[in-house]
Amino acid sequence: MNAAPLGAAFKPDKSRFMFAALQPLVETCKQTAFDLHFRHAKNWKAAEEGRVLVGYMPIYFPREVVHASRGLAAGILGGGDRKQIIKGDAYYQSYICHMPRGIIEMALDDNLNDFDGFIFPSICDVIRNLSGMFRMLGKGKFVKYMDFPQNFLPAVGGVFYKKELLHVQEEIFKINGYRPSTDELNHSIALYNENRALTEDIYDIRQQFPWRLSFEDLYFILRAGLAMPVEEHNNILSQVLDHIRQDIGEPMDKIKVVVSGAFCEQPPPGVIKSIEIAGCYVVDDDLLLGSRWIQGDIDADSDDPIGAIVDAYLKQSTFSSTVYDVGNPKESRLIDLARRRQADGILFAAPSFCDPALLDRPQLQKACDDAGVRYISFQYSENTGQFKVIKEQVGAFADSIKLWEEELVN
Amino acid sequence: MSKEVVKEKSMVLQKEMLAGLFKELSQAHETGKKVVYTFVPGNLSELIHAFDMLPVYPEINALQSGMRKNSGAFIREAEKAGHSEDVCTYVKCDIGMMLNGNIGPTGEKLPPPDLLLLSYTGCFTFMKWFENLERYYPGVPVAMLHTPYQEGGKITQEMRDYMVEQLRLEVIPKMEKVSGKKFDERKLAGILENSARAEDLIVKIFDTTKNKPSPIDAYFAGVYYIGPINTGFRGTPEAVIYYETLYEEILERVRLGLGPITPEGEMEEERFRLVVEGPPNWTSFREFWKLFYDMGAVVVASSYTKVGGMYDYGFRHDPARPLESLGEYCMNCYTNLNLPQRIDLLEKCITEYQADGFLVNSIKSCNSFSAGQLLMMRHLEERLGIPVGFIESDLVDPRYFSYSNIKNRLDSFFQMLGQRKVIKGQLEIV
Ligand code: SF4
Ligand code: SF4
């Protein structure tokens, strides 16, 4: 429980100033993150001959591979609540999640022109078949469905995955004729290591002092990283860290929660905000899971950098509904995470009609029951416009925890 | 309809085969036979036989529960246990059945698994399904075989290698451990010979719809025809005998110029020839079928009958390359083809079997089939100028079978096909 410490109301002015100083940066991130025309990324590409722009769908893709080939891998997360769906509904029945129809709409509306290729990670049948649609529509110079292995033996799944990554390199080579050296690949790995480390630092600070950076702002900052060069994003993350290392903001009487299940189709910002307004500090989440997929660093000093990326995938991947959890059950990993973050409870928030997330729910919830971790569950759609019900539900959950003043994560 | 339905010899054979399997399963505890739970698309029946184990197919149990009107209660049971309304109903039906004592379709209790063989093709939900089962059967080993998707419209050598290595290093060692038997490649090769023979026959059987009238319905009756090859009998001599018998019966129908057999007897007049995409509805299967045969509509090809294996383009299990061909089999199932391949295949069916129309039965809870069907329809309509129809239902959730909606849509579709025929006829006269 995070009761406001004594004297919290008498913050020095400096704190408020520091807090406000972050806002222009957050605002820029927000613009970049939700620019459905990806202007920032397109401008980057246009600035130099030979650069390529690759779009990848949720959840994870090792962007290092594209970066080293003079490319930018930009995350495409759908149209959210900012894209009116007119044509997309003619591609997807009503009982399929919302995200792919926004992506198709963007592709048909030319939002994704200037992208050289598209990568569809193997997370579910909807994304898989979306890759076929892009092929049929002739979008990009290449369409690659990335079959991430579900076999984690280096000699089996590792060998297969490496060839998948080499295919991507080859596709980019066909476009710009560039093959990265070992050093260049290692450099790219180091940059993304830095990106992940900075992000984790932010999460670590927020765990203790979540009021220093709202979850909504954090979301904008991280999401912007999917649409800009990593060097730039690292710079932003460093600035954010400089800010939140200071004693800024004022703690409020909110509970700490982990949000789970929202790894693919993203909730609209209104839902994210509602969770906070309703009385929760989100101290961990899987919203932009791909950016935090690899836990810890990838070897950036290897003679075989692609091999290092593969190795990291096999051994250092986070847990997710889209990965077979051989002998390392995701429910224990979720409970561990909640404990590590000293969370008071878990919000299971998943997109409607999302088989991977929803089929995991009963097992995850059972694990919470067994471990005495409180939770609530709801579903959303990226274009949900009504937040009242979610706000009330989350509010009641937060109140019930505050009321009982119990230590919920034992 | 002209005649009383007389059970053909092949029907009797199939019934006996299935009853035998379920009997064996019910006695597995006493006989010590090990039980493998696995899936139809990408099933490794031959490998299971090579280790003298017995297969259980949860989807088959689910569809049988649907046909026997038990699925609604099972689904509600799973939803009570926390499963969402939005997810695949096969999974929920299976979990509900398990929570209800695991009584199988024949009324006998199914033995628990000794091995969960997570060999799945063309659908991610299968993985989630067995992750759930793994929790319900703690300690039961799981052998995972991940089938790469034909994203580029072909099977590459590295895909083949990946499959073979998984079989060699993951699947076979686990099967050896569970069965207590060493892998015998020669035995497997012998079984594969039978598979190839059954596969030759099933291709010939589904090719008979080229005849006019078509002697069979390749969807409603087709789902029975694929029973043995999909439910653990592929690779057995019984399956070969079954398909030889069935083929003979169908050839006889062709010789006599007869149309398909329906639950109410022979269809006398073939008015419309259709190609259907998507699985059928099981909860109201008879009613659903009747909507077609009452209108003289016969399905001359369906994608659903290719979901447990696709033999149309010449793939056969190959005794000379046992593991490679098992891998290729898995990668070749219908839902593992990319969208352009699926559309090409449907186009081939429509053209070769001279279909008058193309119909999609979109299943609410099956993303593997449903995502992309609207695009398929549009492309086929554009390419072939053929009337297309669209209906929605579910596999085993009775809440999503709306008879009147489906009937209305089918009525308009058949009306459109009828008008088209009249116009075509008039043009031919001119
Ligand atoms: S939201 Fe779920 S079902 Fe939809 S594309 Fe993402 S993982 Fe697939
Ligand atoms: S989603 Fe479709 S293909 Fe997959 S298990 Fe369910 S019914 Fe079968």
Fold annotation for B9-183: Rossmann fold (3.40.50)
Q: Do B126 and B39 contact (CB within 8 A), yes or no?
A: yes
Q: Which tens digits make up the pLDDT trace of B392-423?
A: 999 999 999 999 999 999 999 999 999 998 88
Question: What ipTM goes with this model?
Answer: 0.94
Q: pLDDT band for B108, please (50, 70, 90 cuts).
A: confident
Q: Which tens digits make up the pLDDT trace of B233-244?
A: 999 999 999 999
Q: Give CA–CA dist A304/B407, Å, rounded.
A: 61
Average pLDDT, integer, range B25-47: 95
pLDDT of residue A15: 54
Greatest alpha-carbon span in chain B: 73
Ligand nearest to the CA of B58: 2
Specify the 3-state DSSP secondary structure of A294: strand
A contact test, residue of B116, B367, B381 with most A CBs within 10 A? B367
Average pLDDT, 10 consecutive residues per value, chain A (410 residues): 38 57 94 98 98 98 98 97 92 96 96 97 96 96 97 97 98 98 98 98 98 97 98 98 93 97 97 96 98 98 98 97 90 98 98 97 97 97 92 96 64
A180: alpha, beta or left? (left if phi > 0; alpha if psi -120 to 50): beta
How far, rounded to the nearest angstrom, does the alpha carbon of residue A14 sit from its chain's CA centroid?
32
- In the DSSP assignment, the letter for residue B394 is -
Please give, rounded to a whole number of angstroms, the shortest distance from the CA of A138 to a CA of chain B: 11
Residues of A in contact with B165 (CB under 8 A): 155-156, 159
Q: Which tens digits make up the pLDDT trace of B337-380?
A: 999 999 999 999 999 999 999 999 999 989 999 999 999 999 99
Q: Give CA–CA dist A61/A213, Å, rounded.
A: 27
pLDDT of residue A403: 84
pLDDT of residue B5: 57
Out of B170, B338, B340, whose CB is closest to A151? Answer: B170
DSSP percent split of chain B into helix, strand, coil, nearest 5? 55, 10, 35
Q: Do B65 and B93 contact (CB within 8 A), yes or no?
A: yes
Helix axes A23-33, A215-224, angle to 10 degrees: 50
pLDDT of residue A327: 82
pLDDT of residue B1: 52
Residues of B in contact with A358 (CB under 8 A): 83-84, 86-87
Ligand 2 is surrounded, with C-beta below 6 A, by B 88, 90, 123, 125-126, 366-369, 395
Q: Do A390 and A378 contact (CB within 8 A), yes or no?
A: yes
Q: Give CA–CA dist B259/B237, Å, rounded.
A: 29
Amino acid identity of A30?
Answer: K
Pick the residue whose CA is nearest to atom 1 on ligand 2.
Answer: B366
Q: pLDDT band for B426, please (50, 70, 90 cuts).
A: confident
Q: List chain B domain ranges.
A: 9-183
- The helix or strand, by DSSP H or E, that contains position A17, with its residue range, turns out to be helix A13-21
**Residue B299: beta bridge partners?**
B274
